[in-house]
């Protein structure tokens, strides 16, 4: 067996199940889960209709590259959404459909990391655990970049020394961030592209929350957008990952795409032809319908804004929490250890939340070299349940905090 499998840590939800084991919540309170980032808004009918109307193609092997119409639709969406030059994206060279960002983010590291060169894979901390697992199974060492309140919950890239950048082969970005909803700005992206040129690494930007933002007049900046504005129309060293799971409430469709540097996409495509991960044709046609429609996405954002407004009003003065710029998560601080808070909240109020320390790793920092955990004493609250359930959960959290 691959010895790197032994380096994998339990997934956050395995830790959560262990934390709740043996705890009996009140039977008179229905359970509310704010722990898993699984969208619960209805999947748009246009997606299901397109899926059903192409089921006759089940007898056809799909190609790894996907059908022309899907790649052309994705290219047109990227141009519209991120104000890219109309001729900058070649659907044949710059875009590759994938079965959701999770498998693509993992597979990407296997394709681009050279394990013989003592590599580092840099990632935010806290983080989506796929980044870490991808690095470990590619034979690299994860290097964690703390995201603290003092830095606006984005990594302090200026604090990374030259020796670390020299060993870096792959940098995972997540903007909007999971779990904080924080955004990386244009200036930071431009600086990172210069560092990638200087030290020869690839930037993989996980942008799967890019369409869930709270200010309609200020959509988050994307990496390809920053590259184009910096004059890098070839998107050199830049690759972005997008998904319909959050944008279109279609996590079961397992549909997304990778786009960017044509040479990297070409090599990743070669990897994927062996990986055996072509998107089913009916899913491709359903994806075309989704990427061509923005009305359901705007409605999605409206629903999340309503949840943030209601929940934050209830939690005001109870927990230290801020409205994020994007995503559907809240990242409040806790008055006690996050694991104790989560366990007792479940015991007393039958509400499940995710301890922040399950999404992070302790790191050394400061003059004294002390170990700190940027996820400790925080919670991730996923506002994916119906509005009335989110309000009920927030009221139960308020009641719980009043009894501490």
Backbone phi, psi, residue 323, to 5°: -70, 125
**Confidence (pLDDT) at 344:** 98
CATH of the domain at 180: 3.40.640.10
Nearest to 240 by CA among 78, 69, 91: 78
Query: Is residue 209 domain-shared with residue 171, that is, in the same domain?
Result: yes
Structure tokens at 389: 């359930």
* Distance separating alpha carbons of residues 176 and 164, to the nearest angstrom: 24
CA 352 to CA 223: how far, in whole Å? 34
Q: 111 with 228, same domain? A: yes
In this predicted structure, what is the pLDDT of residue 370? 58
In tens digits, what is the pLDDT along the chain, a chain of 404 residues?
Answer: 999 999 999 999 999 999 999 999 999 999 999 999 999 999 999 999 999 999 999 988 999 999 999 999 999 999 999 999 998 999 999 999 999 999 999 999 999 999 999 999 999 999 999 999 999 999 999 999 999 999 999 999 999 999 999 999 999 999 999 999 999 999 999 999 999 999 999 999 999 999 999 999 999 999 999 999 999 999 999 999 999 999 999 999 999 999 999 999 999 999 999 988 899 999 999 999 999 999 999 999 999 999 999 999 999 999 999 999 999 999 999 999 999 999 999 999 999 999 999 999 998 765 445 568 999 999 999 999 999 999 999 999 999 999 98
Regarding whether 302 and 242 lie in a shared domain, the answer is no
The CA-atom distances, in angstroms, between 192 and each of 202, 226, 229, 281, 314 are 10, 11, 14, 37, 39
- CA–CA separation, 383 vs 392, rounded Å? 12
What is the token pair recorded at 374?
């940027």
Q: Are strands 354-355 and 379-382 parallel, antiparallel or unpaired?
A: antiparallel
Closest CA to 109 of 235, 275, 228: 275
Q: Where is the domain boundary, 293, 316, 335?
A: 293
Rounded CA gap, 100 and 362, in Å?
A: 29
Q: Are residues 29 and 83 in the same domain?
A: no
Q: In this structure, are 206 and 135 located in the same domain?
A: yes
Domain span holding position 259: 45-293
Q: Which of 278, 219, 268 is nearest to 77 (CA)?
A: 219
Q: Residue with structure tokens 């399950």?
A: 358
- 247: CB partners within 8 A, 6+ apart: 208, 210, 211, 212, 290, 297, 300
Structure tokens at 329: 């998560």
* Helix, strand, coil percentages, rounded to 5, for the chain: 45, 15, 40
Domain edge (last residue) among 268, 293, 318? 293
256, β-bridge pairs: 98, 243
140 and 169 Cβ atoms separated by less than 8 Å: yes
Long-range contacts of 308-315, Cβ-Cβ distance < 8 Å, separation of 24 or more: 308/214, 308/383, 310/387, 310/390, 310/391, 310/394, 311/381, 311/383, 311/390, 311/391, 311/393, 311/394, 314/391, 314/394, 314/395, 314/397, 314/398, 315/394, 315/397, 315/398
Predicted local distance difference test score (pLDDT) of residue 364: 78
Rounded CA gap, 190 and 120, in Å? 21
Query: Both 17 and 84 in a single domain?
Result: no
- What integer pLDDT is reported at residue 12 of this predicted model? 97
Single out the residue in 293, 308, 339 at which a domain terminates. 293
Domain count of the fold of the chain: 2
Round to whole Å and give the CA distance between 354 and 16.
7
- Phi and psi at residue 365, in whole multiples of 5°? -170, 165
Pairwise CA distance, residues 282 & 285, whole Å: 5
**Residues 262 and 312 both lie in one domain:** no
Structure confidence at residue 365 (pLDDT): 61
Residue 360, domain CATH? 3.90.1150.10
């Amino acid at each position: 067996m691959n010895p790197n499998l032994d380096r994998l840590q339990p997934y956050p939800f395995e830790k959560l199940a262990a934390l709740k084991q043996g705890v009996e919540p009140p039977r008179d309170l229905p359970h509310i889960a704010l722990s898993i980032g699984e969208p619960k808004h209805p999947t748009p009918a246009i997606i299901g209709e397109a899926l059903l109307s192409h089921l006759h193609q089940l007898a056809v092997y799909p190609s790894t590259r996907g059908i022309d119409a899907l790649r052309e639709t994705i290219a047109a969406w990227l141009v519209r959404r991120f104000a890219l030059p109309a001729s900058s994206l070649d659907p044949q060279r710059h875009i590759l459909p994938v079965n959701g960002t999770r498998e693509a983010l993992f597979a990407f590291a296997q394709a681009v990391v050279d394990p013989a060169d003592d590599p580092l894979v840099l990632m935010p901390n806290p983080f989506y655990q796929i980044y870490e697992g991808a690095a470990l199974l590619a034979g690299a060492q994860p290097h964690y970049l703390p995201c603290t309140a003092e830095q606006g919950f984005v990594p302090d890239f200026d604090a990374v020394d030259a020796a670390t950048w020299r060993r870096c082969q792959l940098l995972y970005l997540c903007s909007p961030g999971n779990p904080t909803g924080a955004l990386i700005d244009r200036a930071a992206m431009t600086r990172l592209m210069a560092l990638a040129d200087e030290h020869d690494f690839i930037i993989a930007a996980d942008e799967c929350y890019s369409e869930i933002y709270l200010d309609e007049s200020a959509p988050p900046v994307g990496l390809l957008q920053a590259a184009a504005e910096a004059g890098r129309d070839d998107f050199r060293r830049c690759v972005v990952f997008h998904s319909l799971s959050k944008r279109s409430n279609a996590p079961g469709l397992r549909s997304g795409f990778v786009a960017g540097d044509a040479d990297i996409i070409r090599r990743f495509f070669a990897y994927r032809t062996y990986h055996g991960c072509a998107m089913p044709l009916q899913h491709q046609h359903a994806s075309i319908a989704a990427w061509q429609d923005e009305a359901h996405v705007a409605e999605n954002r409206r629903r999340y804004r309503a949840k943030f407004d209601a929940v934050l009003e209830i939690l005001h003065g109870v927990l230290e929490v801020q409205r994020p710029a994007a995503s559907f998560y809240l990242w409040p601080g806790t008055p006690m250890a996050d694991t104790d808070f989560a366990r007792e909240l479940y015991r007393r109020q039958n509400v499940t939340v995710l301890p922040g320390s399950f999404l992070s790793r302790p790191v050394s920092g400061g003059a004294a070299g002390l170990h700190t955990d940027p996820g400790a004493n925080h919670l991730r609250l996923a506002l994916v349940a119906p509005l009335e359930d989110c309000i009920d959960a927030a009221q139960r959290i308020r009641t719980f905090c009043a009894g501490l």
